[in-house]
Chain A
Amino acid sequence: MLTKRQNLMETIKGGNPDRFVNQYEFLNLIMEAPMDLPLAPAPGTEVKNKWGITFRWPEDQIGSFPVHDEEHKALKDITKWKESVKAPSVFYTDEEWAAAIAHANSVDRNDEFVTAFCAPGIFEMTHHLMGIEDALMALYEEPEAMQELIDYVVEYELAYAKEVIAHIHPDALFHHDDWGSQISTLISPAMFEEFFLPAYKIVYGFWKDNGVELIVHHSDSYAATFVPFMIEMRIDIWQGAMTTNNVPELIKKYGGKISFMGDIDSGKVDHPSWSRGEIAKYVEIACKECGKLYFIPNLSQGLNIASFPGVYETTSEEIDRMSKEMF
């Protein structure tokens, strides 16, 4: 039996996997690494992160959101971004790194990838700072200032990457940046190519050139039209590929250059009245339609969790069932 890591490599290299890669099993996420996570920690809480962005998680909601009313918007005028935006320090004490290093050292790297986690992404950072409408219009109205801001975020990401690489020597990177809605990308391919492709080529190139074997990018959205850019920026696995992308077609077209992780939409199975039968149905469709290579069956959610208890684990069990049936 192949190790999780070997099985993953066989799957994405077009070899001979002996089962489906089961969701996030191959990524051992080092979430203890010090970072400036952009989230409020629990329902009923509100935090202001080190970028000055306020996140609120109201009671009875399933996640936290950046707050963009006039009082809370961190960047009100893109032309004055240098006065408003100051990246936090990427330097943390040895004590702050200790838990991450201990975790990384405990991982059997023959079996799993020690994985660094980065969120939000570059596109997300622009709209977390300004609000989505201001950020999108600024790409037209103030492209030079937006380019400067993007370059600044890239500098921050590179500086943070350097620290992470020095401390935990990751084998993989799991990097978030949502680029679309469920049925479309938020910006055109041409605009993405102009503003964000160069930024990601630099960032992902840096990780790759410094020992990171695997780049896994999360965007739980439609982004099929961006796949050529994903390949160009050296993404190995696109996680969060929703069914609206027609993943089986993407595998036929791009398999061997990139792999796809998802095709089980969280929205369809991860809800209060979830059931094993419903999960089994969608897992089976995904596995049978996408096949054994260049595909990792997975909920579209951007971490190894679900919104409702039991959904993630049941999905894993159903993927194991499909492995027994198909391998």
Chain B
Amino acid sequence: MSKIEEVKARLEAGKAKLVPALVQEALDEGSEAKDILQAMIDSMGVVGDQFSKGEIFVPEMLMAAKAMTKGVDVLRPLLVGDTSSSKGTCIIGTVQGDLHDIGKNLVAMMIESAGFDVVDLGVDVSPAKFIEAIKESKNVTIVGCSGLLTTTMTAMKETVQTIKASGLTGFRVIVGGAPVTQEYANEIGADGFAPDAGSAAVKAVELVKSL
């Protein structure tokens, strides 16, 4: 097994303590930082897919994401100025009136692992705050709106429609959360919907390609 393959295997197994040393060993053997990064992004895709299928659960995904973060920390000094792997910035938050953050945090982690820079606005985020963050951040390509409560679906609609009516462009809006469906996403004018964190990252990448 090559060192990069070993990095992938350990990352998919959530071995956060082992991955940084393996990444360093892969570099020492002559692998390019961007190739190692891409391999880790691919691995997180595998992890997301396993989560979507119910083969792994939240702790396993958290551990894989932690392994990814620690691996990227080793690569970071070598990637400064290299934007070839970046898919832009994702602004994400739970919509106004809703304090649930577990799902939103998982989506943020998976989207970051897919190669995005993530600006996490937290919970109970007003439409105005989303707009402000889009204006202030560089190269925004995805805006993610999360909501768990049936009662906050109207806030999600208002958020999406405010963003769409703002005149700001260059990004796609993705929505998700337990009560959200593809039909609801279509109805409120969102560009994409994903039922879980794994498929949210896949959908974000797909939407960015359509920009």
> Which residues of A are interface residues toward B (Cβ below 8 A)?
58, 60-62, 65, 132-133, 136-137, 139-141, 181-188, 191, 267-268, 270-272, 307
Contact = CB atoms under 8 A, between A and B. Distances in A.
A137 B62 contact: yes
A186 B57 contact: yes
Nearest to B124: A58
Interface stretch (B32-40, B76-84, B96-104, B131-139): B96-104
B128 interface: no
B63 A188 contact: no
B48 interface: no
Contact of A181 (B103, B124, B149): B103
A133 B62 contact: yes
Contacts of A181: 102-103, 178
B70 interface: no
B105 A133 contact: yes
Interface of B: 14, 16, 54, 56-60, 62-63, 66, 97, 99, 102-103, 105, 124, 149-151, 178-179, 195-196
A144 B14 CA distance: 18
Given A60-B97, A140-B14, A271-B151, A182 B63 contact: no
14 contacts: A60-B97, A61-B99, A62-B149, A65-B99, A133-B102, A136-B59, A141-B16, A186-B59, A187-B57, A187-B58, A191-B59, A267-B149, A270-B150, A271-B151
A137 B149 CA distance: 26
A140 B149 contact: no
Contacts of A61: 97, 99
Majority SS at the chain B contact face = loop
A267 B66 contact: no
Contact of A271 (B99, B150, B195, B196): B150
A268 B153 CA distance: 12
Majority SS at the chain A contact face = loop
A185 B179 CA distance: 17
A143 B66 CA distance: 17
Most buried by B among A58, A140, A184: A140
A178 to B, nearest CB: 11
A122 B99 CA distance: 22
Contact of B58 (A182, A186, A271): A186
Most buried by A among B57, B105, B179: B57
A271 B57 CA distance: 30
A183 B57 CA distance: 11
Given A188-B59, A191-B57, 9 more contacts: A61-B99, A136-B62, A137-B62, A140-B14, A140-B59, A182-B178, A183-B178, A187-B57, A267-B150
Contacts of B150: 267-268, 270-271
A286 to B, nearest CB: 18
Contact of B66 (A137, A188, A270): A137
A58 B66 CA distance: 31
Contacts of B103: 181
Contacts of A182: 178
Contacts of B105: 133
A58 B96 CA distance: 12
B132 to A, nearest CB: 20
A115 B179 CA distance: 33
